[in-house]
C-alpha cells in the first residue's frame, strides 16, 4: 500500500510547483518593435548597426543583440565582466584577444570571450560580418570600453 501512495504524493507536489507559475505569460518581442541604432562613434570604428533583441528580467541578467559590421568596421578594445558569447550569423570577420593572434570567424561559428579578457571583434576589410552577442550583466554592466583598435592591429599585427 505504502509503495503506491508515495508516488501519488510526489506527483501532486510536482503539479503544485508547476501551477505556481501559471499566471506568467509567454512574451514575444515582435520583429521591428525596437529601432536599429548606430554603434557609438567612441566605441566602434566604421559603420556598425546594433539591433537589441532581448533583456532578461531580474533575477535574470542575460541580454543579447544583433551587431552588423560593414567591411572594415570593428569594436574598440573592451572587456566583459562575465564574458560574452558571439554567434556569427553572416559574413566573415575577426576576433582577437590581447597578445593573441587575430582569428577569422565566419557564419555558423560560436565564440566564447572569457570574463575580463581584453579583445575586439569586427568584419574583415572586404566582407561584412553579423553576429548575435549574448552577455550577462554584473552590477548592471555588460561591457567596459577602452581605446580604439589601430589600423596596424586591425591589419593583423599582434597587439
Ligand atoms: Mn566583446
Q: DSSP secondary structure string, the chain?
A: -HHHHHHHHHHHHHHHHHHTTTT-------TTSS--EEPPTTTEES-EEEEEEEEPPTT--EEEEEEEE-TT-EEPSEE-TT-EEEEEEEEEEEEEETTS--EEEETT-EEEE-TT--EEEEE-SSS-EEEEEEEE-BTTBS-EE-PPPPHHHHTT---
Domains, the chain: 30-154 (2.60.120.10)
**Ligand 1 center–CA 30 separation, angstroms:** 26
Record the cell numbers describing residue 82, joined without a space: 562575465
**Ligand 1 center–CA 79 separation, angstroms:** 6
Record the cell numbers describing residue 1, joined without a space: 500500500
Other Cβ atoms within 10 Å of 27 Cβ, number: 7
- Mean pLDDT (whole number) for 84-105: 97
- Mean pLDDT (whole number) for 100-127: 98
CA distance 48 to 52: 13
**Ligand 1 center–CA 144 separation, angstroms:** 9
**Ligand 1 center–CA 14 separation, angstroms:** 41
CA distance 101 to 119: 11
Choose between 92 and 11: higher pLDDT.
Answer: 92
**pLDDT tens-digit map of 17-61:** 567 788 889 999 999 999 999 999 999 999 999 999 999 999 999
Amino acid at each position: 500500500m505504502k509503495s503506491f501512495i508515495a508516488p501519488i504524493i510526489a506527483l501532486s507536489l510536482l503539479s503544485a510547483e508547476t501551477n505556481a507559475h501559471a499566471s506568467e505569460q509567454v512574451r514575444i518581442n515582435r520583429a521591428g518593435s525596437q529601432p536599429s541604432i548606430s554603434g557609438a562613434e567612441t566605441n566602434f570604428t566604421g559603420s556598425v548597426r546594433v539591433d537589441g533583441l532581448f533583456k532578461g528580467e531580474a533575477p535574470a541578467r542575460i541580454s543579447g543583440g544583433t551587431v552588423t559590421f560593414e567591411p572594415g568596421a570593428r569594436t574598440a578594445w573592451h572587456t566583459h565582466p562575465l564574458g560574452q558569447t558571439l554567434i556569427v550569423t553572416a559574413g566573415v570577420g575577426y576576433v582577437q584577444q590581447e597578445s593573441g593572434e587575430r582569428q577569422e570567424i565566419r557564419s555558423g561559428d560560436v565564440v566564447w570571450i572569457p570574463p575580463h579578457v581584453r579583445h575586439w571583434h569586427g568584419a574583415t576589410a572586404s566582407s561584412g560580418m553579423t553576429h548575435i552577442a549574448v552577455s550577462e550583466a554584473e552590477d548592471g554592466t555588460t561591457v567596459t570600453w577602452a581605446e580604439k583598435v589601430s589600423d596596424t592591429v586591425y591589419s593583423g599585427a599582434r597587439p
